[in-house]
Structure 1
Amino acid sequence: MAGQITILVFVFFMLLAAARDAMSFTIPNWLCGTLALIFPLAAAVLGLSWMDFGLHLLVGVVALLIGMALFAPGWIGGGDAKLVAAAALWFGWPDAMIFLGKAALMGGLLAVALIMLRRAAPATGLPQRWMSGTLLADGAPAPYGIALAAGALWTLPESQIFLLAAL
């Protein structure tokens, strides 16, 4: 039961990150930090070996370094970089690579959907000021937290941590 609760906590925080990003185009530091700080407790509850725990930590650190490298030139947001690292920490090797691939695919679908919605938005007849600051605003950033959460939820059922929680 405790293992299943840890998975629900992970799902809750990933969905919260997606919702916050969709509403404000930001993913708060406390949210990513909470995901990272809860992981050692989850690892203990799920019975990860020290070797597996260390590998998860290594994957999380590498993901954070790559995220920082992508953030520096402005290719991704800072919250996105931290959320990738926090989720990769939970997934470990090789599930983090599967997560990243699925999140990238979901990011592409998100981009296409936003382009289509933004092109269709003027046809609604709503005043432009109502769309300002929303997902439909011209030039608004893509809330990639949505794609990261979708990739995580897609990856989760076949991941090591999920299988450990099911035991």
Structure 2
Amino acid sequence: MFDQPQLLLLILCPALLIVAALKDVTTYTIPNWISLALIAGFFPTALALGLSGSAIGLHAAIGAAALVAGMVMFALGWIGGGDAKVFAAAALWLGWPASATFLLVTALAGGGLALTLLAMRSMLLRRYVSAGPPWLSRLAEPGENVPYGLAICIGGLTAFPASSLAALAL
């Protein structure tokens, strides 16, 4: 049984992914402090939950690989810089094999998000969506970006229960 501080550390990742998604959907930005908090929070959480040194190294390697992949996606204009950073920070927390689920679900959620935004931006629906709050109206603007942080959040939350950190808590 884990004590309250360990459980609070464990929910840091899901909580910060939700904050990142909300910020991205409403402002099209993911502040650097979210990615930095994810990275800084991983190591004390891993140590507090008893993750081995080699497992921590594997998590770090997966996070580094995700950062490279995120940088490539950013360079290609597929995602924003904040998306790339939070993608890597989430992968750091998830490790192997949860990162495979993370990649798959993030890609599927991203496709679903893109289709939803295309529908919202159609002439048929845009006038209805535009009557909502300003952030929702902005999502319906043709040519506007895609807040991919939402897809990253969905992928991360889906994969998190399969992560080695979550497994230690069970």
Give me the TM-score of the superposition, normalised by structure 1. 0.90
Q: Give the share of equivalent positions with the same residue, in percent.
A: 40
Residue-by-residue CA offset, 1:14-42 (whole Å, 9 max, x unaligned): 00000000011111111111101111011
Amino acid at match of 1:124: Y
Q: Counterparts of 1:126 and 1:73 in 2: how far apart (Å)?
A: 30
Q: Does 1:6 align with 2:9?
A: yes
Unaligned runs of 5+ in 2: none
**Superposition map of 1:31-110 within 5 A:** 31-110=34-113
1:146 is matched with: 150
Distance in 2 (alpha carbons) for counterparts of 1:112 and 1:55? 35
Distance 2:50 2:81 in 1: 32
Name the structure 2 match of 1:161: 165
- The 3 A distance-change label for structure 1 pair 47 and 137 is same
Give the aligned residue type for 1:111: A
Runs (4 or more) in structure 1 with deviation over 4 Å come to: 130-133
Mapped to 2, the partners of 1:6 and 1:95 lie a distance apart of: 19
CA contact 1:131–1:137 (8 Å) conserved in 2: no
For the aligned residue pairs, the C-alpha RMSD in angstroms reads: 1.9
Give the Cα–Cα distance (whole angstroms) in 2 for the partners of residues 145 and 121 of structure 1: 23
Residues 3 and 164 of structure 1 are in contact (CA less than 8 Å); yes or no, is this contact kept in structure 2?
no
1:36-81 deviations in Å (ceiling 9; x for gaps): 1111011011110000000011111111111112212322111111
- The farther-off stretch of 89-98 and 15-24 is 89-98
CA distance in 2: counterparts of 1:107 and 1:155, whole angstroms: 15
1:146 and 1:12 map into 2 onto residues whose CA distance is 13
| TM-score of the superposed pair, with normalisation by structure 2 | 0.88
CA distance in 1, matches of 2:169, 2:129: 49
Deviation, 1:123, is: 4.1
* Unaligned ranges ≥5, structure 1: none
The residue type equivalent to 2:8 in the other structure is I
